[in-house]
Structure 1
């Protein structure tokens, strides 16, 4: 068991250096810090807030579901952060390319990855893009964007690959739970409101 954990830890560090050093280039140095900001929970709350304020009934419902997914994901993430208490890679590894100013908070799991995958899963599951008479789900493009956010967290030097992988799993499960539980409850409540309104009129 110890040998397996040691092998996984070694692979985690090796993968980190491959992304943080091996893929180093000027374009990523500019783009990745910019992309990583869009994966923060605050950025997603802002996006969902704008959807709720300016959207129609369907959009407001999706925004609400997205907020629920974000809340679930971040409760799980920050609970694990304090339980595991893993330092960020730039605090424990040598020669890390740190591209942003980062606080010395805990690394595992990635909150940016969890938030991005949670919001992307909810929004992507509910929206479709119609092009030339065909309907395309937005789930895969948004999940790819979430994956790029996760990649950026490793590239800029603030997370290990395993932090991002676990964060992504938490985000997807949080989005699924929000859609499964809150979606049904919201539909029932909206139906009851419509029935009461019809009875009154």
Structure 2
């Protein structure tokens, strides 16, 4: 599960989107752009909500949950799940394979539960926020293309 949960980290997404942008075609470059936008919005939203809600993590409240990792901060919502759903769903808009990407994002959410760092409601909220962020990124991508502010055609 620690390997799966890595797909919800910023470093995973920076590396993945960089590789996609370097070696991908036109659609892949747009997908990487949308994923980064979704991740930035998702990070800001999740961190704001964590501070506002200030919910302790399960392993801090329940003695029978043992966690040996380095999770800190508050629990609600799951930032890893926000990143996974925001990133993977954004990729699916341009690259297809939606079921595969949603399955990957869901596994990240399940890994957060398994590791004892989130409640089910944290993961559900993270998934909803990630989905919302991916749709916002899709709209931003459409607007950027519409106004000609970013010329993806030159990247072909």
The alignment's TM-score, normalised by the length of structure 1, stands at 0.70
* Corresponding position of 2:100: 141
Q: Which runs of 5+ in 2 are unaligned?
A: none
Q: Distance in 2 between matches of 1:193 and 1:182?
A: 10
Q: Does 1:69 align with 2:38?
A: yes
CA deviations on 1:7-39 (whole Å, 9 max, x unpaired) are: xxxxxxxxxxxxxxxxxxxxxxxxx11111122
Higher relative contact order (CA 8 A, sep 6+): 2
Q: Does 1:47 align with 2:16?
A: yes
Counterpart-to-counterpart distance in 2, 1:86 and 1:139: 32
Of 61, 64, 67, which residue of structure 2 is paired with 1:95? 64
Cα separation, partners in 2 of 1:193 and 1:115, compared to 1, 3 Å:
closer
Tell me if the contact between 2:30 and 2:94 (Cα under 8 Å) persists in the aligned partners: no
Residues 13 and 87, structure 2, Cα contact 8 Å, conserved in 1 = yes
- Tell whether 2:69 aligns with 1:110: no
Distance 1:181 1:62 in 2: 12
Mapped to 1, the partners of 2:150 and 2:92 lie a distance apart of: 24
Residue 2 of structure 2 aligns to a residue whose secondary structure is helix
Decide which structure has the larger Cα Rg and report it: 1
Q: Deviations over 1:18-68 (max 9, x none)?
A: xxxxxxxxxxxxxx1111112212211211111112222322121111100
Moved over 3 A (4+): 190-194
Quick one: distance in 2 between partners of 1:54 and 1:157?
37
Match of 2:110 in 1: 151
RMSD: 1.9
- Equivalent residues, number: 153
Quick check: 2:57–2:74 contact (8 Å CA) kept in 1?
A: yes
Q: Which segment is superposed worse, 41-50 or 140-149?
A: 41-50
Q: Distance in 2 between matches of 1:65 and 1:125?
A: 9
